[in-house]
């Protein structure tokens, strides 16, 4: 129960931070990506603040044997790049550039009462399900070679 409560509080704090920094405003995000037009540097300051807090906090957090409410830290161990990582990052970037949303801000933006985040989230779920289907059926899609 404690873990769920901490997750709820963390998500709420994250959502409030997104709202306060106006990162749920897709026009603000698209303005940051428009480097050839009227560039809006707001997102750069938000990112800088997040990176600064992370760099400082992780030095203390990772010194612990385990998290406060867990038995171990889940830290990525993968060292190399593969096609699925590169393609996934490209699709994420294209989707972010077209819509002005990524998952956290889109969920938070549902409170605005507009359709853009709803459409983004529906497309994200469909894309996730399609990726899962292709990942499990990839071997059946490859052409068979005759021996």
By residue count, the chain amounts to: 147
Q: What is the dihedral of CA 75, 79, 83, 85, to 10 degrees?
A: 30
Domain residues for the domain of 15 are 2-141
Cβ-based neighbours of 113, under 8 Å, separated by 6 or more: none
7: in domain: yes
50: in domain: yes
Whether the model pTM is above 0.85: no
- Res 115: pLDDT: 93
- Res 134: pLDDT: 86
146: in domain: no
Cα–Cα distance measured from residue 71 to residue 87, given in angstroms and rounded to the nearest whole number:
33
Cα–Cα distance measured from residue 88 to residue 94, given in angstroms and rounded to the nearest whole number:
10
Please work out, in degrees rounded to the nearest 5, the angle formed at the alpha carbon of residue 13 by the alpha carbons of 97 and 34.
20
42: in domain: yes
b (16+ CB within 10 A) / e for 84-98? eeeeeeeeeeebbee
pLDDT digits (tens, 9 = 90+) for 14-65: 999 989 988 899 999 899 989 898 999 988 998 999 999 999 999 999 899 9
- Res 3: pLDDT: 87
135: in domain: yes
Q: Label residue 78 by pLDDT band (50, 70, 90).
A: confident
- Res 31: pLDDT: 92
Q: Label residue 13 by pLDDT band (50, 70, 90).
A: very high
As for how many domains the chain has, the answer is 1
Q: Label residue 125 by pLDDT band (50, 70, 90).
A: very high
Q: Label residue 85 by pLDDT band (50, 70, 90).
A: confident
CA distances from 92 to 28, 108, 120, 134 (A): 18, 18, 12, 17
Cα–Cα distance measured from residue 81 to residue 40, given in angstroms and rounded to the nearest whole number:
31
- Res 84: pLDDT: 84
């Amino acid at each position: 129960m404690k873990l769920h409560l901490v997750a709820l509080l963390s998500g709420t704090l994250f959502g409030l931070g997104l709202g306060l920094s106006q990162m749920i405003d897709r026009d603000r995000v698209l303005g940051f990506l428009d480097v050839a037009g009227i560039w809006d540097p707001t997102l750069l300051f938000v990112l800088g603040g997040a990176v600064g807090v992370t760099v400082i906090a992780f030095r203390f957090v990772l010194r612990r044997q385990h998290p406060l409410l867990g038995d171990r830290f889940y830290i990525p161990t993968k060292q190399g790049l593969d096609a699925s990582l590169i393609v996934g990052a490209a699709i994420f970037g294209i989707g972010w550039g077209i819509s002005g949303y990524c998952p956290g801000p889109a969920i938070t933006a549902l409170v605005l009462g507009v359709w853009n985040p709803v459409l983004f989230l529906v497309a994200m779920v469909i894309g996730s399900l399609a990726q899962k289907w292709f990942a499990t059926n990839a071997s059946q899609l490859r052409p068979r070679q005759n021996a």
